[in-house]
Amino acid sequence: MPNGTLYCGDNVAILRQWVPDRSVDLIYADPPFNSGHAYYATGKKHEGPRFGDVWKFDVDKYQATLDQSHPALTRGLQAIRSIIGECDGLAYCAALAPCLSELRRVLKDTGSLYLHCDVRMSHCLRLMLDALFGRGRFRNEIVWAYRTGGAGKRHFARKHDAILFYTASDRYTFHPQRERVRYRKQFFGAQRDEHGFYADVLVRDVWEIPAVINVSSERTGYPTQKPLALLERIVAASSNEGDVVLDPYCGSGTALVAAQKLGRRWIGIDASEEALRVTQTRLGIPVVERG
Ligand SMILES: C[S@@+](CC[C@H](N)C(=O)[O-])C[C@H]1O[C@@H](n2cnc3c(N)ncnc32)[C@H](O)[C@@H]1O
């Protein structure tokens, strides 16, 4: 494919075999969140889960994944173990550790990583990334706020994800982004169009972008699909035309679609063949079915 490569399989094995050190400009990683669920295409439970997100602590597995991780991350995991104990959360962190180590290896010195997670594991993942990148390389915790249905009665409705933004060094690519804010009244600096007053202001670390819901025109049916507007903002902010964007958990391929649209090259990896079929369709690449 002229603009990129798709790989099907476990991302750690693929990164080790195919992606050289310091070769990637931007990584967007959207792994499972430790939700405790299996994900089905909406309304199609009979077709089986698209991917699972259930983790159980197993001491041998834990030790084996520690041995494959960056030493700083291994120390970070040991600290997390002493706080949260031997639980599903620790199994999840340990499962992600070898992948995060590989992502750090393949990132260029001018590159950036955006790790998408939610309140369940963001506190642990941030410590892991501090261990791997250094605390000084933390740039933002982006709050992606959305309004989807469903709310608990014993706490405030949890309606945001966290996107942890780290850079490999202090010499990183960053293009500030702007968004249009509308106002009821005129004020100094406001502009006017047929809808009223507005200003194009610098984007904060709270992003209000609608989630992909059943009636969204971009919806593919692949579970946990992220909105294209979210990925376009990340790609536009943290890469240049012709740069390489890597998504090691690409799912329906939203980050790759954004990269292609903005003239970047891309690498997509997913363990699910079905995810890659959806991605290929979205990228306009013919799907060749094996017999
Ligand atoms: C949260 S979804 C990604 C959704 C994607 N951002 C989108 O917009 O469609 C996570 C994806 O990670 C994949 N996955 C989970 N573990 C993996 C692994 N070890 N290697 C490669 N892919 C994996 C799953 O198959 C799933 O498609």
What radius of gyration do the chain's Cα atoms show?
20
Residues 200 and 228 in one domain: no
Give the separation between CA 28 and CA 10, rounded to whole angstroms: 16
Domain span including residue 200: 174-204
Lowest mean pLDDT: which of 9-23, 40-54, 72-86, 137-151? Answer: 40-54
Residues of 179-209 as b/e, b for ≥16 C-beta within 10 angstroms?
A: eeeeeeeeeeeeeeeeeebeeeeeeeeebeb
Mutate to test the pocket of ligand 1, among 6, 15, 39, 51 (most ligand atoms within 8 A of CB): 51
pLDDT of residue 1: 59
Cβ-Cβ contacts under 8 Å for 211 (sequence gap 6 or more): 146, 147, 148, 227
Per residue in 182-192, pLDDT (tens digit) is 999 998 889 99
pLDDT band at 43 (very low <50, low <70, confident <90, very high): low
Last residue of a domain, one of 204, 226, 253: 204
Give the separation between CA 23 and CA 20, rounded to whole angstroms: 6
Residues 221 and 252 in one domain: yes
3-state secondary structure of 117: strand
Residues 157 and 211 in one domain: yes
Residues 128 and 262 in one domain: yes
Residue predicted with more confidence, 124 or 44: 124
Residues 191 and 212 in one domain: no
Which residue's alpha carbon is at the smallest distance from atom 5 of ligand 1? 251
Q: Is residue 265 part of a domain?
A: yes
The number of domains in the chain is 2
In angstroms, what CA-CA distances link 4 with 118, 244, 247, 280?
29, 8, 11, 11
Residues 46 and 180 in one domain: no
Last residue of a domain, one of 182, 204, 226: 204
Of 39, 116, 113, which is closest to residue 272 (Cα–Cα)?
39
Residue predicted with more confidence, 289 or 271: 271
Closest ligand 1 atom to 269 CA: 21
Residues 131 and 16 in one domain: yes
Identify the CATH number of the domain in which residue 251 sits: 3.40.50.150
Residues 135 and 268 in one domain: yes
- If you write DSSP's letter for every residue of 204-258 in order, what string do you get? -SEEE-----TT-TT--S-TTPPPHHHHHHHHHHH--TT-EEEETT-TTTHHHHH
Of 110, 112, 114, which is closest to residue 126 (Cα–Cα)?
114
CA of 180 to the centre of ligand 1 (A): 32
Which residue's alpha carbon is at the smallest distance from atom 3 of ligand 1? 251
Task: Please say whether the beta carbons of 165 and 140 come within 8 A.
Answer: yes
Angle at 103 between CA 106 and CA 267, to 5 degrees: 70
pLDDT band at 41 (very low <50, low <70, confident <90, very high): confident
Which residue's alpha carbon is at the smallest distance from atom 2 of ligand 1? 251
pLDDT of residue 290: 53
Q: What is the mean pLDDT of residues 255-281?
A: 96
Other Cβ atoms within 10 Å of 133 Cβ, number: 21
Q: Is residue 163 part of a domain?
A: yes
Closest ligand 1 atom to 247 CA: 6
Residues 244 and 262 in one domain: yes
pLDDT of residue 164: 98
Q: Is residue 68 part of a domain?
A: yes
**Ligand 1, CB within 6 Å, residue ranges:** 10-11, 30-32, 51, 222, 224-226, 249, 251-252, 254, 269-272, 275
Task: Please say whether the beta carbons of 78 and 63 come within 8 A.
Answer: no
CA of 231 to the centre of ligand 1 (A): 15
218 membership: H or E segment, kind and range: none
What percent of the residues of the chain are helix, what percent strand, and what percent coil, each to the nearest 5?
Answer: 35, 25, 40
Q: Is residue 288 part of a domain?
A: no
Residues 198 and 84 in one domain: no
Task: Please say whether the beta carbons of 261 and 280 come within 8 A.
Answer: no
Last residue of a domain, one of 204, 225, 247: 204
Residues 271 and 238 in one domain: yes
pLDDT of residue 42: 73
pLDDT of residue 289: 59
Closest ligand 1 atom to 11 CA: 20
pLDDT of residue 111: 98
Other Cβ atoms within 10 Å of 126 Cβ, number: 18
Residue predicted with more confidence, 37 or 103: 103
Closest ligand 1 atom to 252 CA: 9
Per residue in 276-286, pLDDT (tens digit) is 999 999 999 87
Residues 89 and 186 in one domain: no
CA of 25 to the centre of ligand 1 (A): 20
In the chain, the largest separation of any two C-alpha atoms, in whole Å, equals 66
Q: Is residue 97 part of a domain?
A: yes
Q: Is residue 290 part of a domain?
A: no
